[in-house]
Structure 1
């Protein structure tokens, strides 16, 4: 009966053993990484088709984090806007109180009132021209440029300044009640941007250069919109041409344009000051409404941030369920691999010490 004897050369055995040592070393390194990090070293190899789930979850989590960052920026912008509007109200309040004190006659000096209004105008314009993160907050969608012209600043598009427009209205001087009423009505027309005979004088042509209230079709112009999440948007842009802020600017302009102490007719004086006080009072009420709306928008943003934070926690938990390894299993596997590697090294060492001389 014939015998078949298989032979395995020492070289081939060494090569095979070396391959197993290399493979075991790689597996041990991978197991050590999983033990130290608590995550799978190769998610796709371990999960196979289920890896698509973690890919989708990670994409959603990245989107969620982007929304959280943008909402944080939006919250800061709204805080800056609210602070600015409240500052405008504070700046105008002193002028309104002095105007009320001088409603019937220039008891405290009309000239002083004019100077106070001029200082308030500079502060209001500077406040509403504020920039945040490179954008003018009260210019609407046209945020590249400051929305308001300074009192003596010439608008390059119309060649007029707010000071020039106001001076043109009051140039004849207020001599009687009819003149005071006519000039006040002209200020109303200009600040309503309704002067069709000379549109360059209009508020939205010379005084203000941001997004208009109405578009070419006489429809509300698009406001600044933020996307809070995948299914939620927020229109939040307060503008320097909003009614309350426009009323404030009109009242200040009327006070600056005319030194009330020079109006000698009592009826004309009372009518003029009455229109000024009405504009400033309406402006303060409108500015308060703007502040309230900004505060409401802040609450919407905070609610969205809370919801996104909760969603992120759920998503991270789901990702962890996919990618996290069992620490006890990982440690056991690492220990077994260390044992295998140690055994392979011992076999290799014993083979390397064999010699024909040991058999002689």
Structure 2
């Protein structure tokens, strides 16, 4: 073979070496075997499938994270509401035997609790109201800031003002009417309309797996609306907030009225405990599924890495060898070029 032919063959080999060196350099730089799936043949299809599964699992895990954060915020509110129900139920029990002069203090305490409950029911998380059902952009208690002087509280105060030794049951019935009436309800039009029958908010945490995490301000877990824990809290706190020395002086009427409040507040506290229990069970289910997703993601990413990623140490060593081979080839080409030139000059 002539010197010129040898130089030509070396040029072809050098082009191939440069291509391999470029690929090795990119792999060391990016850590990836290829820039496009097509260059991963014959494992391109497997890489695509693995990436799809990783994306699906990540979406479910992220949804679970958001749902757990929302549930945790809801649990905090429910815990405080249950505490208020228990505390104010005890205050109502104590009020049965208090002197008439203590009525004003009870009214102030109940008014403050009434405002707090309304504000708690309007708690937001992630920019959405927690207790509004699907109407997440509207507060469940539209007039929370003025709940003490709103239609429900005003109607209940008027009923309580008529209390006498024998009509406590009628006064309590009037308070129920005020809390449930279309013109006096403290809740939003959505909650008192479509919201009374819509399904609880649920989160999709796996294929075919939806877990309910929604809690309504005006509905209990058992589906009760007229006697839901939220309505009963607002109603009975309004009754207590309407206390006056004259009302407390009705003796048996006052005692009977407070008995009704104690019973209702106890039922509300129990309902809130059930709400917390149901939500807690949902949190455990979501947490278990999220953990399964994250464990699976570790395995999937390892498999995907084996398909798409290079061993950096091995790639770096190969790149160094390719550089040496290419430099040696250039030296041989240079030497042959000098020999060829010498032959031509003879």
TM-score range, shorter-chain basis?
A: 0.7 to 0.9
1:200 aligns with 2:183: yes
1:107 Cα shift? 6.5
Quick one: structure 1 residues 325 and 151, their matched pair in 2 at CA, closer, same or farther if it must change by over 3 Å? closer
Helix, strand or coil: the match of 2:210? strand
Q: 1:209 aligns with which of 188, 209, 221?
A: 188
Q: Which residue of 2 aligns with 1:122?
A: 115
CA contact (8 A) 2:151 2:183 kept: no
Q: 1:251 aligns with which of 236, 254, 261?
A: 236
Quick one: structure 1 residues 44 and 264, their matched pair in 2 at CA, closer, same or farther if it must change by over 3 Å? closer
Q: Distance in 2 between matches of 1:116 and 1:236?
A: 32
CA contact (8 A) 1:146 1:210 kept: no
Alignment TM-score, normalising by the size of structure 1: 0.81
Q: How many residue pairs are counted as aligned between the two chains?
A: 336
- Between stretches 19-28 and 301-310, larger displacement belongs to 19-28
Q: Which residue of 2 aligns with 1:175?
A: 164
For structure 2, the residue ranges without an aligned partner over 5 or more in a row are: 220-227
CA contact (8 A) 2:155 2:175 kept: no
Q: Which residue of 1 aligns with 2:155?
A: 165
CA contact (8 A) 1:88 1:124 kept: yes
Question: Which structure carries more relative contact order (alpha carbon 8 Å, separation 6+)?
Answer: 2
1:125 Cα shift? 1.4
Relative to total residues, which structure has the larger helix share, 1 or 2?
2
Q: Distance in 1 between matches of 2:343 and 2:21?
A: 37
Q: Which residue of 1 aligns with 2:223?
A: none
Q: Distance in 2 between matches of 1:151 and 1:322?
A: 60
1:98 Cα shift? 1.9
Q: Distance in 1 between matches of 2:193 and 2:174?
A: 21
1:220 aligns with 2:193: no
Quick one: structure 1 residues 57 and 255, their matched pair in 2 at CA, closer, same or farther if it must change by over 3 Å? same
1:161 Cα shift? 3.2
Quick one: structure 1 residues 82 and 41, their matched pair in 2 at CA, closer, same or farther if it must change by over 3 Å? same
1:251 Cα shift? 1.1
1:300 Cα shift? 1.3
- Between stretches 35-44 and 62-71, larger displacement belongs to 35-44
Q: Which residue of 2 aligns with 1:3?
A: none
CA contact (8 A) 2:64 2:290 kept: yes
1:57 Cα shift? 0.9
1:335 Cα shift? 5.6
- Between stretches 338-347 and 301-310, larger displacement belongs to 338-347
1:355 aligns with 2:345: no
Q: Which residue of 1 aligns with 2:68?
A: 75
For structure 1, the residue ranges without an aligned partner over 5 or more in a row are: 1-5
Q: Which residue of 1 aligns with 2:94?
A: 101
1:4-31 CA-to-partner distances (Å, cap 9, x unmatched) read xx989x5x97676545434312212322
CA contact (8 A) 2:90 2:262 kept: no
Alignment TM-score, normalising by the size of structure 2: 0.84
CA contact (8 A) 1:224 1:235 kept: yes
CA contact (8 A) 2:21 2:322 kept: yes
Helix, strand or coil: the match of 1:273? helix
1:229-269 CA-to-partner distances (Å, cap 9, x unmatched) read 23311111112113222221121011113426524332211
- Taking the TM superposition and a 5 Å limit, the aligned residue runs for 1:321-340 are 321-325=306-310, 330=315, 333-334=318-319, 337-340=322-325
Q: Distance in 1 between matches of 2:122 and 2:293?
A: 32
Helix, strand or coil: the match of 1:227? strand
CA contact (8 A) 2:86 2:266 kept: no
CA contact (8 A) 1:105 1:269 kept: no
1:269-292 CA-to-partner distances (Å, cap 9, x unmatched) read 121111111121111111111122
Q: Which residue of 2 aligns with 1:305?
A: 290
CA contact (8 A) 1:61 1:312 kept: yes
- Taking the TM superposition and a 5 Å limit, the aligned residue runs for 1:3-152 are 17-18=10-11, 20-34=13-27, 39-42=32-35, 44-45=37-38, 47-106=40-99, 109-148=102-141, 149-150=143-144, 152=146
